[in-house]
Amino acid sequence: MSTAWPRTVITGIGVLTPIGEGIDPFWQSVMAGQSGVKRISLFDATGFPIRIAGEVTGFDAKKYIDKKDRKSLKMMARSIQMGVAVSGMALKDANLDPSQFDPTRIGIDFGASLIASDLDELAPGAHVSTDHGKKPVDMQIWGTQGLAVMPPLWMLKYLPNMPACHVSIMHNLQGPSNTITENDVAGLLSLAEAKRIIERGLADVMLTGASDSRINPLSLTRLSLFQQFTKRNDDPARACRPFDRERDGIIPGEGACNLILEELSHAEKRQASIYGEVVGAGAAQDRHRDGQGIARAIQAAMKQAGITAAQLDHINAHGYSHPHFDVMEAKGIRQAFGDQAPPVFAAKGYLGNIGSPGGPAELAISLLAMKHGSLPASLNYEYPDPECPLHVLHGEPKPITKDYVLKISFSDLGQCCAVVVKRWQD
């Protein structure tokens, strides 16, 4: 009896980002060096310290949802709608119709973060509970009167597990279903968990990824209390500067990405096109936020993949564009690889910090690069920082010359994940 693990490949990509809706526009924008960071248009952000973001423009969820299911849109916040949309995109790209397979063998592992409520839904309850805006919130009044004027479906619209729930219902996915909520690292952690589910023989196909929107007055208020935003409001396209000496803070964003993971023999049996094979994954907690957890996650992923640094074409970094966290990541990479650290690509100059889907969406760039043979340059890297002693790929696209890529994600609270993907060659 063979003891080999089932092999996991990526057969579909669905992306919805500030630089493109769907694979082709997304890839064309990246290769053109186009940043999706722009002035916020979803609401008037004049009074906020940050007035620019990686915003998705022109998104209409109705394009991706059958008429019979559109009534459910009223129970979906914007980020949930995005998650549902990219799941359909990814299934289409994979040429995979779940109805043609055993539904108990198809599951979903999705990432999410805190979903902020729309102000017009919170306002009536808040108004009542503050004596019509005259006092701070009175929790007793909130419990007796405030909740009574809230929309009855309010909670269902904002629960972070709802993207996975809606997708499971719409596509009749009866296999494993899970939601991971570790903020910026959630999307990549969901991919790693989906890989393990397939390896355990519990599913043949897993939809995996994440969706998030931080372009909301409540989200920006919350983030402004805990994060350092850029002050480059007048220069949106050049504001996000991963590892650059002139970086001064993050740029919020929004988007969604879904990757279809499939057991290899299942994919081959239906003659699926394959982007790459997920060969290693690791996770850790960077307790002191000094890079040690990042290094352990990298080492675990590399060990499982059974490769050395010399076999990596590039590292697809998290690249926060944050004064401290970029140094933390650079230390983690150097701790894992020493002077043999492979070159680094950072994608947030294109997208901004789109939150939980950032990991899979940024990995999608590397997957498409391996398919097309060329990796785009990191945007806005102009001044090397001695505190980030990395070889950051910038300037012009470079040819893909090796078969492996390492993707890193982590959160500001120290959760870390690393995934190794191998280029697929028929």
Digit-coded pLDDT (tens) for 39-80: 999 999 999 999 999 999 999 999 998 888 888 998 999 999
For residues 215 and 288, membership in a common domain is answered with: no
- The predicted pLDDT at position 251 comes to 97
Instruction: Tell me, yes or no, whether 247 and 326 share the same domain.
Output: no
When the pLDDT of each residue in the chain is averaged and rounded to a whole number, the result is 96
What residue type is assigned to position 388 of the chain? C
Residue 333 has pLDDT above 50, yes or no: yes
Residues 105 and 248 in one domain: yes
CA 6 – CA 11 distance, rounded (Å): 15
Q: Which residue has the tokens 């419990």?
A: 143
CATH number for 16:
3.40.47.10
As a whole number, mean pLDDT of residues 166-195 equals 97
Q: According to the model, what pLDDT value does residue 405 have?
A: 98
Number of domains in the chain: 3
Tell me the two tokens of residue 225.
């209390």
- How many whole angstroms separate alpha carbon 62 and alpha carbon 154? 21
**pLDDT given at position 68:** 85
CB distance 125 to 149 below 8 Å? yes
Residues 283 and 255 in one domain: no
Taking the CA atoms of 94, 75, 103 and 67 in sequence, report the sign of the dihedral they define. Answer: negative
Q: Are 236 and 289 in the same domain?
A: no
List, in sequence order, every residue forming a beta bridge with 17; answer none if it has no partner: 20
| pLDDT above 50: residue 83 | yes
pTM beyond cutoff 0.85:
yes
Q: Tell me: do 95 and 19 sit in the same domain.
A: yes
pLDDT, tens digit, for every residue of 17-35?
999 999 999 999 999 999 9
Q: What is the pLDDT of residues 334-365, one digit of tens each?
A: 999 999 999 999 999 999 999 999 999 999 99
Whether residue 1 is contained in a domain is answered as no
User: pLDDT-based confidence at 2, cuts 50/70/90?
Assistant: very low
C-alpha closest to that of 406 among 246, 297, 248: 297
Determine the Cα–Cα distance for residues 244 and 383; give it in Å rounded to an integer.
5
Query: N- to C-terminal Cα distance for the chain?
Result: 27
Domain boundary among 241, 269, 297: 269
Q: What are the tens digits of pLDDT across the range 124-134? A: 898 899 988 88
Residue 69 in tokens? 């299911």
Give the strand pairing for 398-399 and 374-375.
antiparallel
Q: Please report whether residue 274 resides in a domain.
A: no
pLDDT band at 233 (very low <50, low <70, confident <90, very high): very high
Domain end among 208, 237, 269 = 269
Residue 2 within a domain = no
> Are 102 and 242 in a shared domain?
yes
Average confidence (pLDDT) over 411-423: 97
Among the residue ranges 93-97, 220-224, 244-248, 386-390, the one predicted with the least confidence is 220-224
Distance CA 323, CA 132 (A): 42
- Percent of the chain clearing pLDDT 90 (strictly above): 89
**Structure-token pair, residue 338:** 């020493």
Residues 167/108, Cβ–Cβ less than 8 Å: yes
Phi/psi zone of residue 263: left (φ > 0), alpha (ψ -120 to 50 degrees), beta? beta
- Where does a domain end: 94, 128, 149? 149
